[in-house]
Structure 1
Amino acid sequence: MSSDLPTPPETGRVGSMSLRALPPIYILPAHLTLDELHEFEDEVIELGAPFTYDAKEAKIFLGKVERKTRAAFELRSKGVWTEENIVKMEEPARKRRRVTPAPPTEVVIISDDESEAGEHVNVKAKETNAATSSRRPLREEDFVLPDLHNRVLVVKLAWWDECFRHRRLRPIEPFIVYDGRLIPKPDGESTPTSSPSSVRTQRPDTTSNNEHTSSPLQQNILARAKADAEVVKEKGHPVAFQHRRRFKQQNPPPVYGSLIPKLKRMTTSEFEECDAKALPEPPDWVKNHSMYCCLRSTPMNQPNHRFISELQKIKLSRILTLDQIGVRAYSTSIASLAAYPYLIRSPLEIMRLPGCDERIATHFSEYKATSPSESERYLPVARKLDEDENLQCLKILYDIWGCGADTARKMYFTYGWKDIDDVVQFGWNTLNRAQQIGVKYYDEFKTTIPRKEVEEITEIAKQHARKARGIKPHQYDTDEDIVAVIVGGYRRGKEQSGDVDMILSHRDENVTRNLIVDVVSELEESSYITHTLTLNTTTTKRGQQTLPYTGGDGGHGFDSLDKALCVWQDPNFEIPPSEAADPDSAPVMKNPNIHRRVDIIISPWRTVGCAVLGWSGATTFERDIRRWCKREKGWKFDSSGVRDRRDGLVLDFETPRKGKEGMEGDTWLDREKRLMDGLGIGWRPATERCTS
């Protein structure tokens, strides 16, 4: 071996201090890659410290953790429940124990040549004087641990780095993040699946000289393999998060089967004698078994909203686990239940609804069995999902603007980020600009917007669009004026909206060409728009024509209009009288107004009905419009227009026609009505398009 390489430490000894007297050590996987986790495990075992894969055995937890609350959370996620210990490290000496040097021990050193031949040489490790030893033993400062009976410590990994670099134990007090006292699991709290109890603490090998002794690294590999094998044998619950890293299985969805009671199976005679006769007369869409929710009315206030909200939780779990089939299935079932005009009292009612099968009926049986009172009922499967800490963390990350489910899973399962603080501390530089803004205004974006404020924001945007195109006051509210339509949840009747969606249009296509660029510039200059997340001019670039049909679904997706996704803040706010009296001496006051998410969409007048229809319905309603047009009509619909899939020709359903009573109206609402009739789905107001 090269003389430049450092001499490996004796197993179980760091400098002049033995590590065998340390309590069991567990490495927290948060913020560590799989390679980093294994590297630290190898170092701990190589230096002879007692290492365990079972968090409940450990007394010292090493990890990249900076805050006490996060440390307690990490312990809880491993099934270790604690409360902060109020006794500090400076406790009486009688409660402290000193880690003393162990007597000289016999260790095995394998040379390169001998290891190739499979031969082992036993060497007596002795304490030598610094003057005669080739490696001068380092004099260790006092290393003191508190009494860890019924207590655990969460320590920064930087402490272990210090010990490894100096080849001796360093004082631990400056690196302690959390000193926790063990407590029983509180009633009503859920404990994530912990490591198998069969995985025991790994300690330095103590075999005799004539026995074959494996290296610490080999012991580590075998121990890790054994731990993984034990986890594989466990059935009936998801794989524990810490062992999932060892498998490199980053995306296993949680599995929660339906609990009792099961859907009751009925004989023919029982069915005839049951309440089937008392069931309400089903709507026509139920009788016709219509699968398209765009063909039926779905109001905002739904009699079965409590049961639907429980199913929404399951749907969200399918989104977060990338189960697209499950998402679509639950979306279809929820849309059917939302349109049903009666309070459901029997699973038989659910079985006759299109898009609802025995699984949904079983969910209802479980839901109904939890309580005789409708207001107190819950779905056991949904409650389990609420208590799943993996899904809770994924939901936090998923709610960051600019992060989809796939990005959230990567943040959590690959990087170990569990909350917004983790994203800021460990991943800020890896986020794109839109995601950074989503993190910065995370809490503000989650604050809903009342209807009055939605109207005020839209009116301000309309005024700036008028200014950008030179619309004069005498042209206001005429055919020469800018038209602004509030769409999204506001138009469906929501009292509180998550963001503001508006469509701006004009009867002259020269006005709408590149209007999005000019209106955003005006709003930025007036300080209403603080950030522009996305700015698209796709309609202008294709001459404001309908999106071409290329044989598949084609184009750039369902939404293909000029649009800007912005961050909005009202620049007007009151200045305290004390500061207003002397503005020169007063410091610059920060704008206290909340930031809002605002989407501005531009549509040419020729297809404004398509734009309004495409942005007014809930998600499943819009999905079914596209399915209806494709499967039943052979057309392609998006917010830029309608085309025939057979020849690619544009189909015009919006242009006014002269009837018996004269020319039809030419407002945006008239155009939307004609469009819906032309598509064959029939007109219904936006307040009846509230699917999900």
Structure 2
Amino acid sequence: MALDNLDFPIIFLLAAQLGSEERQNLEEQIPTLTYDINEAEVVVGKVFHKARALFELRKHRLVTDEIHTPARSASASPVRKRARLMAAALGSSDVDSDTASDGEIQRRLTGPAPAEPTVKVVKLSWFTESVKAGVVLPVDAYVIYEGRKVSTTPAKQGPTTAPSKASEVMKRALADAGASPKTPPVRSSQGRRGDTYVSHPVKRPALVRQTTSEHEIENRLPPIPDYLHTTYSCQRPTQVHPPNEAFVEELSKIRTARILLGDKIGARAYSTAIAAVAAYPYTFQIPQEVARLPGCGDKLAQLFEEFNKTGQIAEAREDESDPKLAVLKLFYDIWGVAETTARTFYNRGWRDMDDIVEYGWGTLTRVQQIGVKFYDEFHLKIPRPEVESIANTILAHANTIHGGFQMVVVGGHRRGKQESGDVDVVLSHPDEAATQDFVERIVASLERAKFITHTLTLSTANSERGQAPVSWKGPGPGNKKAGTGFDTLDKALVVWQEPRWTTGERTNPHPHRRVDIIVSPWKTAGCAVLGWTSGSTFQRDLRRYCKRERSLKFDSSGVRSRADGSWVDLESGADGEPAPDMLTAERRVFAGLGLEWRPPEARCTG
């Protein structure tokens, strides 16, 4: 089902009571998704009571006045009820703007449009059942709450605040300025769905103050590169050190705070904006230059204006000084602890590592205990020569077990970082029999040589199914990995320590390092290298691009058709011959997806 063909209203998705996989899957399905609740016509979520709906609106700082619709009351007269239903139908998504003429839409109007836009909070089942039916269902049966959006801008006072007095003040102000009050013309326009509406003049506060020199600069701004007219960061070159790197670092701090506080939609919106800013090839001069980029807009322009004047963003400074966020960040940086677990630790009253050890050690998983034990060492950066030394040791052991293995060092190292947080390598072999169950053999070899001190995760899912690329079963309860983008390759996530030293110390002076060893069959090695190399937003947008533009499902273990779930071979040549090496296979995946090749150092989206 091509959801883009369904005429949904603008939808804001509530994250409450949604698991991360379910939320991400829904976000990928909603064709009219917005991350700004103020833009939404419909707010959907697992909401079943009006009180909860009001709570969610307050939490997102959307102020509304409830609309009591007579059409839903048994006491309403038949004529009034039909009129209200017709008006509701016009505002709902079942109006076909492609077939309804302006005259037909006007005939369906039962009265003037409300002075303020409205928003409906509806059950999530409205969207899911619409998708299942292949048509946008009438929303009324699912509405929990409907309200009129109320502006909280002080300048927009209601008529109850002494309008005559306010009018006199305005007249005096205009007289002092040597001007006379003028009434701006009322304009008639067309809405998103083709329905005619009247736009009353509203004086909006300026985004930023613009001087004459700034106006001259704006006229001389370089044109936006073609690749920044797309919303997919996988179609843009993004360097490791972009021209606006300092601004990106400030935005990244705000994004981290959103992650820690559980604001996943906000974190995702910041990731989108950061990727656009990082891809811009020129140093920003004025805020308007930021506003024109995809995913940025007025909000990011305001933040840049603040950053340009002060060298920092107040919100980022406030986040850094927030004691709660400091504790959440401490816990979040434990390997094996996600943001949800970090908040759980905080809610238990724990405030530092000592609290975890004293009060919760027995409740931690083995992986989390190791993360606490080596906390300081895991946060030491790994210089490039050491990354390469570790990788070469792994490859040497692989070829001792079975000759002919190839390896690509992926992750931040391949993107050009001088220091890495961990070491990621992808191993593969042209002989598929060589990669079958190989991950266990390489781990055993490295353990015997005392390079691996702890094995955190050992996954053999790919070997267990005979290394056949997993078919895509579509979203739903039967496919637990749907929408996550996580692959099913064989992999070992281990703790590494160089076992040899020449100093006179009695204990090993080398720090423990985090190392990920991924084993891919040759036929999907290009996807593995692509997925494990690219920045997180690049990967997210690659999956989104494949879904919406190619009707494909991509992750590091292969490409599958969304039509029938079958594996799609993009890595073999025209003659069916396999790729000669892993890097050639990666290039073929780009070409097969219709994407321009981006070298690893141009995929630094963060």
Q: TM-score range by the shorter chain?
A: 0.5 to 0.7
273 and 512 in structure 1: CA distance in 2 versus 1, 3 angstrom threshold: closer
The reply on whether 1:453 has 2:386 as its aligned counterpart is: yes
SS in 2 for 1:599: strand
**Cross-structure match for 1:379:** 313
Q: Which amino acid aligns with 2:600?
A: A
SS in 1 for 2:520: strand
**Cross-structure match for 1:238:** none
Paired with 1:573 and 1:351, the residues of 2 have a C-alpha distance of 54
Paired with 2:346 and 2:234, the residues of 1 have a C-alpha distance of 37
Q: Would you say the 8 A contact 1:503–1:603 is kept in 2?
A: yes
Paired with 1:500 and 1:272, the residues of 2 have a C-alpha distance of 46
**Alignment deviations for residues 77-123 of structure 1 (CA, whole Å, 9 cap, x no partner):** xxxxxxxxxxxxxxxxxxxxxxxxxxxxxxxxxxxxxxxxxxxxxxx
**Cross-structure match for 2:207:** 263
SS in 2 for 1:672: helix
394 and 658 in structure 1: CA distance in 2 versus 1, 3 angstrom threshold: same
Paired with 1:368 and 1:489, the residues of 2 have a C-alpha distance of 29
**Cross-structure match for 1:684:** 598
- Give 1:495-644 correspondences, 5 Å limit: 495-552=418-475, 554=479, 556=481, 557=484, 558-574=486-502, 576=504, 589-644=506-561
Q: Which amino acid aligns with 1:639?
A: S
Q: Which amino acid aligns with 2:558?
A: G
Q: Which amino acid aligns with 1:431?
A: L
Residue ranges of structure 1 left out of the alignment (5+ in a row): 1-260, 371-376, 472-480, 580-588
Q: Which has the higher helix share?
A: 2
**Alignment deviations for residues 551-608 of structure 1 (CA, whole Å, 9 cap, x no partner):** 22846442211000000001111253xx9xxxxxxxxx32221100000000000110
Paired with 1:547 and 1:488, the residues of 2 have a C-alpha distance of 24
Which of 212, 216, 226 pairs up with 1:284?
A: 226
Report percent identity of matched pairs. Answer: 50
**Cross-structure match for 2:130:** none
**Cross-structure match for 1:416:** 349
**Alignment deviations for residues 255-285 of structure 1 (CA, whole Å, 9 cap, x no partner):** xxxxxx9832679xx8995432111222112
Q: Which amino acid aligns with 2:544?
A: R
Paired with 2:396 and 2:460, the residues of 1 have a C-alpha distance of 21
SS in 2 for 1:443: helix
Q: Which amino acid aligns with 1:679?
A: L
Paired with 2:351 and 2:401, the residues of 1 have a C-alpha distance of 44
Paired with 2:474 and 2:321, the residues of 1 have a C-alpha distance of 46
Q: Would you say the 8 A contact 1:548–1:555 is kept in 2?
A: no
Q: Which amino acid aligns with 1:340?
A: Y
Q: Which amino acid aligns with 1:378?
A: Q
SS in 2 for 1:651: coil
The reply on whether 1:321 has 2:277 as its aligned counterpart is: no
Q: Would you say the 8 A contact 2:572–2:578 is kept in 1?
A: no
The reply on whether 1:439 has 2:372 as its aligned counterpart is: yes
262 and 517 in structure 1: CA distance in 2 versus 1, 3 angstrom threshold: farther
Paired with 2:515 and 2:552, the residues of 1 have a C-alpha distance of 31
Measured on the aligned residues, the alpha-carbon RMSD in Å equals 2.0
The reply on whether 1:304 has 2:244 as its aligned counterpart is: yes
**Alignment deviations for residues 226-279 of structure 1 (CA, whole Å, 9 cap, x no partner):** xxxxxxxxxxxxxxxxxxxxxxxxxxxxxxxxxxx9832679xx8995432111
Q: Would you say the 8 A contact 1:300–1:687 is kept in 2?
A: yes
Q: Would you say the 8 A contact 2:452–2:495 is kept in 1?
A: yes
The reply on whether 1:337 has 2:277 as its aligned counterpart is: yes
**Alignment deviations for residues 446-476 of structure 1 (CA, whole Å, 9 cap, x no partner):** 001011111110111112112233x3xxxxx
Relative to the length of structure 2, the TM-score reads 0.63
**Cross-structure match for 2:91:** none
Residue ranges of structure 2 left out of the alignment (5+ in a row): 1-204
Q: Which amino acid aligns with 1:490?
A: H
**Cross-structure match for 2:298:** 358
Q: Would you say the 8 A contact 2:214–2:286 is kept in 1?
A: no
Q: Would you say the 8 A contact 1:657–1:664 is kept in 2?
A: no
Which of 321, 324, 331 pairs up with 1:390?
A: 324
Paired with 1:273 and 1:637, the residues of 2 have a C-alpha distance of 44
Q: Which amino acid aligns with 2:224?
A: P
Shift of 1:432: 0.6
Q: Which amino acid aligns with 1:649?
A: S
Which of 420, 439, 463 pairs up with 2:396?
A: 463
**Cross-structure match for 2:287:** 347
The reply on whether 1:666 has 2:584 as its aligned counterpart is: no
Of 445-454 and 456-465, the range deviating more from structure 2: 456-465
Shift of 1:484: 1.1
Paired with 1:609 and 1:315, the residues of 2 have a C-alpha distance of 31
262 and 314 in structure 1: CA distance in 2 versus 1, 3 angstrom threshold: farther
Paired with 2:296 and 2:589, the residues of 1 have a C-alpha distance of 30
Q: Would you say the 8 A contact 1:547–1:555 is kept in 2?
A: no
Paired with 2:472 and 2:215, the residues of 1 have a C-alpha distance of 55
Decide which structure has the larger Cα Rg and report it: 1
Q: Would you say the 8 A contact 2:383–2:419 is kept in 1?
A: yes
Shift of 1:657: 2.8
Shift of 1:417: 1.2
484 and 272 in structure 1: CA distance in 2 versus 1, 3 angstrom threshold: closer
SS in 2 for 1:490: helix
The reply on whether 1:493 has 2:416 as its aligned counterpart is: yes
The reply on whether 1:426 has 2:359 as its aligned counterpart is: yes
Paired with 2:463 and 2:405, the residues of 1 have a C-alpha distance of 17
SS in 2 for 1:636: strand
SS in 2 for 1:332: helix
Q: Would you say the 8 A contact 2:275–2:605 is kept in 1?
A: yes
